[in-house]
Chain A
Amino acid sequence: MCSVALMGMIFEDDSSGAWNEMFEAPGKPRPIYERLFAEIDRFDPAELLQRSDQLSHTFLDRGVTFAHSGEERPFPLDLMPRLLGAIEWDLLERGISQRVRALEAFLGDVYGAGQVFEDGVIPKSVVTTSSHFCRAAHSIEPPNGVRITVAGIDLVRDEIGKFRILEDNVRIPSGVSYVIENRRAMTQTFSALFSNHRVHPVDSYPARLLAALRLAAPYGIGDPVVVVLSPGVYNAAYFEHVLLARMMGIELVEGRDLVCRSNHVFMRMTNGERPVHVIYRRVDDDWLDPLQFRPDSVIGVAGLVNAARAGNVALANALGNGVADDKLVYTYVPDFIRFYLGEEPLIENVETFRLEDPDVLGEVLQSLDAYVLKPVDGSGGKGIVIGPQADEQTLTSVRDAIIMSPRNWIAQRPVALSTHPTLVDEQVSPRHVDLRPFAVSGGQGVWVLPGGLTRVALGAGELVVNSSRGGGSKDTWVLNDQLVAPRGPATDVGQPPRNAGVIPRQNDEYTDQEAEQ
């Protein structure tokens, strides 16, 4: 691996064949990165490190952490932001919205009429054998028809720079709190950078979510009581539950704060009980209602499923959404888009092989080391085997597991995820990144938060990008680049702007307007 020194900063070159987000050639940034590169390049590396240090302290103090093996860890924020241009974002936004609309239609169908089976779009057995298919959810109709209030769709960029869908998360997708906190930290640490870029704000997310949750209220409830239901302080995403409850100005409750009586839900208050109408639940299906699912759950609420069935409380996201996250079902999503929406998919899947077909299975088993193998119900990178990087023993055990139950695995063509310059060990090196945009829906169209969470694998060459596996994240900027006025000849770029360090007032006003549209 060779290194190119450029004006003080060392950007380690990448020779992995992966798409580099920032550079089109060594030392030559892509157009949208030009300004950022020029700015960052002016920083003294020591100063950059200092800022990075300061950032991680800020996160620890603020308690911006995730719980891992019983320990509170900060989710490291890398200083180098990830940039997305307006045109590119427009495609992603439409593609994600399309995807969510199709998944929504699919879930409504699966737990209702089952037209998708009648028409042979997907075998019924694929759905009924999914471990997240929830028979108790059958015929529970959400008041506003929305089962996917929040979606997190994972994208990767392949070797030729094309975004592809890696997986869908429509159960309880997490990570949006880092998007909000990362932006807050970055605007504090690098206010000057923001003054030279038109970056779409992300702080309207909680208001959007609350509006969507209110729209989910049961019939006839004009001013619903909305709560966030958390498994409690030991949950990995507890920080996020707190942040969202706080920013939405609603109660954060645990299962023991709630009680169901005759299919109505109440929370226990100091002065009695108060009815609850909408529950943004961050507890998995299995643990949600000990009457219907695991009787040993102490974090759920007994009777909750029937309260939802009776239409007295709305659960967001709905029960049983996990069937849409199943990675075998994932392979059918492009067909769902055609079937329900009559559209062609705007963003393609990663090339995936269904192992239930004996011929395909045979082919994959022949050269396991050429594929990425994923359990269909895993999330967070759990159980994934990356063939080209796996040792003999791992391959043997995954082979046995696949032969035992081909339904529970898929194989994918390995994608060299795109890389992005990242500050690692006092040096800027390419690291693999993915992107999880978040979409919110209250039944009046799907809104996609500009940007989303860029996760970065901090180990060199590491392809699984996940916080629980030592990953970090980047602030993701969606640029409104058409609106950036030309800044004079390129030779000017090296000069510090006169207002460095100060966010100009008109920029604030601009972003405020943007948020309201």
Chain B
Amino acid sequence: MAKASYNEARMTPVATHNQSVRQAHVSVQPSVPLYSYVDYFGTTVTAFDIQDLHTILEVEARSTVESRAAILERPINWGQIRDERLVDTYSEYLGATARTQLSHEALANAAAWPGQLDLHECARAVGDFVRTRVQYVPGATTVSSTAEEAWSRGEGVCQDITHITIGLLRTLGIPARYVSGYLYPSSDSDIGDVVAGQSHAWVEYFSGVWTGWDPTNGVGETENHIIVGRGRDYDDVAPLKGIYQGPSSSSLGVSVEMSRIV
């Protein structure tokens, strides 16, 4: 039971080169006026406050998105990625945050990678490494877990695998950012079928252009990856955050339903 609450939802897909948003609509129960703006990271935010007593808060985001798989561009080389100007421009995606900080033990592996690999190969190698060392175990961690916690546990979810991959890439001097979005489970279900999708997280690293990589699934940014927002880590793009006045007894749940229409 909350007397009042103030909230921000980040659930609206962003328009990118490979993803155009045909329609996007967020609605809230209890019904209140919504305000939307684009934040520092370019994510569309829906903000609202509820002033009456309420026991349930329901946020529904409906979008129609046309997406296609990203085409892999030729990467810039290691010299270019260490260019002083480039490093300064992307410095926010090179420094560790509390979420992405890793211990020396975890970072010890980083030294081996660049070798003869180009940026794409390196990002994949890092992602694959993380996936072999950290098992995907739903419920093993919480939304507030850090990369280091998941690393030492050896288990985590996509959020943790992404945080760890980001932490390692940044250590290698590759700008990397956290992507929050939805994943359509398979391409072979029929048009119009409603299937259970999921909230998902993956990585974008800079290789001349921002390039997606999904370390949890070991794939690139396919047409099934719908991007909502990017940030330094999860906290910049949390799908829903808010505060309320009242006894602390909130429980959160999320469900994602997706269907192909073309």
Contacts and interface: CB of A to CB of B under 8 A. Distances in A.
B95 interface: yes
B109 interface: no
B149 to A, nearest CB: 21
A290 B51 contact: no
Contacts of B37: 139, 306, 309-310
B40 A129 contact: no
Contacts of A303: 6, 47, 49
B10 to A, nearest CB: 13
Given A291-B8, A303-B6, A139 B88 contact: no
Contact of B88 (A123, A290, A309): A123
Nearest to A134: B40
Interface string B237-261: 0000011000000000000000000
Contacts of A128: 91-92
A68 interface: no
A52 interface: no
A459 interface: no
Nearest to B7: A291
A291 to B, nearest CB: 4
Contacts of A136: 39-40
Contacts of A125: 87-88, 91-92
Nearest to A123: B88
A262 B91 contact: no
A291 B32 CA distance: 17
A290 B91 CA distance: 28
A42 interface: no
B40 A260 contact: no
Contact of B35 (A117, A263, A290, A302): A263
Interface in A444-474: none
Contacts of B33: 262
B51 A261 contact: yes
B53 interface: no
Given A124-B88, A295-B243, A302-B6, A139 B95 contact: no
Contact of B242 (A120, A291, A309): A291
Nearest to A118: B89
A204 to B, nearest CB: 39
Given A138-B39, A262-B32, A306-B35, A129 B91 contact: yes
A302 B88 CA distance: 34
A255 to B, nearest CB: 13
B14 to A, nearest CB: 16
Contact of A260 (B39, B49, B91, B95): B49
Given A129-B95, A261-B49, A302-B49, A135 B6 contact: no
A374 B6 CA distance: 39
Contacts of B89: 117, 124
B38 A139 contact: yes
Given A262-B49, A309-B37, A302 B243 contact: yes
Contact of B40 (A117, A138, A295): A138
A444 B34 CA distance: 35
Contacts of A260: 6, 49
Nearest to A262: B33
A381 to B, nearest CB: 29
Contacts of B48: 262
A138 B231 CA distance: 14
A303 B35 CA distance: 11
A139 B41 CA distance: 11
Interface residues of B, number: 26
Nearest to A120: B85
A310 B35 contact: yes
B243 A135 contact: no
A117 B39 CA distance: 19
B39 A135 contact: yes
B95 A291 contact: no
A370 B88 CA distance: 31
A207 to B, nearest CB: 35
A284 B242 CA distance: 20
Most buried by A among B39, B40, B49, B85: B49
Nearest to B45: A306
Contacts of B87: 125
A260 B47 CA distance: 12
Contacts of B85: 120
Interface string A107-140: 0000000000100100111001100000110110
Nearest to A124: B88
Contacts of B92: 125, 128
A37 B242 CA distance: 63
Contacts of B38: 139
Interface in B65-109: 85, 87-89, 91-92, 95
Interface string B38-63: 11110000011101000000000000
Contacts of B242: 291
Contacts of B39: 135-136, 138
Nearest to A301: B6
A303 B242 CA distance: 10
Contacts of A120: 85
Contacts of B51: 261
Interface in A131-157: 135-136, 138-139
A129 B232 CA distance: 13
Interface in A248-270: 260-263
Most buried by A among B6, B32, B91, B236: B6
Contacts of A309: 37
Nearest to B33: A262
Nearest to B89: A124
Contacts of B6: 260, 290-291, 302-303
Contacts of B40: 135-136, 138-139
A263 B242 CA distance: 15
A390 to B, nearest CB: 30
B230 to A, nearest CB: 13
Nearest to B241: A291
A124 B91 contact: yes
Contacts of A295: 243
Interface string A295-324: 100000011001001100000000000000
A303 to B, nearest CB: 5
Contacts of A123: 88, 91
Interface in B1-20: 4, 6-8
Interface of A: 117, 120, 123-125, 128-129, 135-136, 138-139, 260-263, 290-291, 295, 302-303, 306, 309-310
The 9 lowest CB-CB distance pairs between A and B, nearest first, are A125-B91, A138-B40, A135-B40, A291-B6, A302-B6, A123-B88, A262-B33, A303-B6, A306-B47
9 contacts: A124-B88, A124-B91, A128-B92, A129-B91, A135-B39, A260-B49, A291-B6, A302-B4, A309-B37
Given A124-B89, A125-B91, A260-B49, 12 more contacts: A123-B91, A124-B88, A125-B87, A128-B91, A129-B91, A135-B39, A135-B40, A138-B40, A295-B243, A302-B4, A302-B49, A310-B35
